[in-house]
Chains A and B, each alone.
Chain A
Amino acid sequence: MKIDQEVTFLVAAILLVAGTISVYLVINGDRVVMPYSEIGILGTNMMVSDYPTEPEPGEDIGLNIYLGNHEGRLMYYTVLVKLGDAKEDVGSEPLDTPVLGTYGAVVPHGENHTIQFQTRLHGIAPDQRLVFELHAYNGETHTIEYTGRWCHLWFNTEQATT
């Protein structure tokens, strides 16, 4: 079978361009352009829906903390679970309220991890919330620092008692 010389030349040119692009992707494939960490709360069935939002005071509340690592390196996360209400502002600084629990996890890059936890709310109020603050170990300062990432879940314990 005789292949047209013009076609051969075209195929050679395409292979050259494809080869150059492949080498570039192999060299830069593992580079993380925008590193970030994830924190989320899942219900008892590991879903973003089945939250016990109106528990009885003193009733066990079972939840799951979801952590995702896209930082491009191994991460040691610590989640502080704090009790708050509508008065406190959560933001770039950690909340200055009692810590209900401390949960840690070591998560490799590109993977996620869930931590089961249980707690109880004893107060009767319509606007209590659990705040989950994400802290991470900083290898340069050798301390666990607040990442500025957080999430919360509102509870109405007053509704359950009426």
Chain B
Amino acid sequence: MRIRQRFLILIILTAALNTPPTTHGQNREDELRSDIAAAFEIVTKAERGGVDVETLVEDLNAALRIIEDGRATNLDLAETKIDAIIASAPTLAGKIASIAMFRWLKTVFTITLLSATAIIAKRYGPKAFWTLWLKAMRDWTVHP
């Protein structure tokens, strides 16, 4: 009798421990929304760095639609999409660095070009301007 009681208690305890709480789905959704925020920060950083993030934004929105749909079976798909974005962070960082280097070179080139133009304009500008001005006004007469 005592053994049977103990066995029953053991079964009830095991069942209670294995039964997911009623808020399990909600907790999972909250976790995924938190992950989306983390993924969004990665995408924002990439966008500021000049990376084309259109596909990443589409994936984030697709994940949000899946979460809002509320079907627990599809939440794994949402998690896969979010995890893929989070996992792409090092690749995005590499792209940001390449774009930053290209921008730096472009800035250096622009500054060099502008400086060269300024030096040429300073050296030859006044002469060219006044030559043009004299030619433009050569037919003019001065009346006393």
Across-interface contacts of B41 in A (CB, < 8 A) = 139, 142
Chain B residues contacting A108 (CB-CB under 8 Å) are 47, 53-54, 57
B65 nearest in chain A by CB position: A115
Determine whether the beta carbon of A74 is less than 8 Å from that of B43: yes
> Which B residue sits closest to A116, measured CB to CB?
B65
Give 1 or 0 for each of B59-85: 1 = CB within 8 Å of chain A CB. Answer: 011001001100000000000000000
Main secondary structure of the interface of A (DSSP, over half): strand
Confirm or deny: A20 has a beta carbon within 8 angstroms of a beta carbon on chain B.
Answer: no
Residue of A nearest to B54 (CB): A108
Tell me which of A4-12, A32-40, A54-62, A149-157 binds B. A4-12
User: Interface with B: A82-90, A96-104, A126-134, which one?
Assistant: A96-104
A76-B40, A137-B40 as given contacts; A106 in contact with B61, CB under 8 Å: yes
Most chain A beta carbons < 10 A, residue from B48, B57, B60 = B57
Most buried by A among B40, B43, B53: B40
Determine the main DSSP class of B at the interface with A. Answer: helix
Shortest distance from the beta carbon of A75 to any chain B beta carbon, whole Å:
9
Which chain A positions have C-beta within 8 A of B33? 104
Q: Which of A9, A102, A137 contacts B37 (CB 8 A)?
A: A137
Q: How far is the CB of B92 from chain A (nearest CB, A)?
A: 13
Is there contact, CB below 8 Å, between B132 and A106?
Answer: no
B68 x A102 contact (CB < 8 A):
yes
| Size bracket of the B interface | 20 to 34
A104 contacts across to B, CB distance below 8 A: 33, 36, 64, 67-68
A113 within 8 A of B: yes
Known: A12-B132, A73-B48, A76-B60; 16 extra A-B contacts, CB below 8 A, are A5-B138, A9-B132, A9-B133, A74-B40, A74-B53, A74-B57, A76-B36, A101-B68, A103-B68, A104-B64, A104-B67, A105-B64, A108-B47, A108-B54, A108-B57, A113-B61
27 CB < 8 A contacts A-B: A5-B135, A6-B136, A6-B137, A9-B133, A9-B136, A73-B47, A74-B40, A74-B43, A74-B44, A74-B53, A76-B37, A102-B68, A103-B64, A104-B36, A104-B68, A106-B40, A106-B60, A106-B64, A107-B57, A108-B47, A108-B53, A113-B61, A117-B68, A137-B40, A139-B41, A139-B44, A142-B37
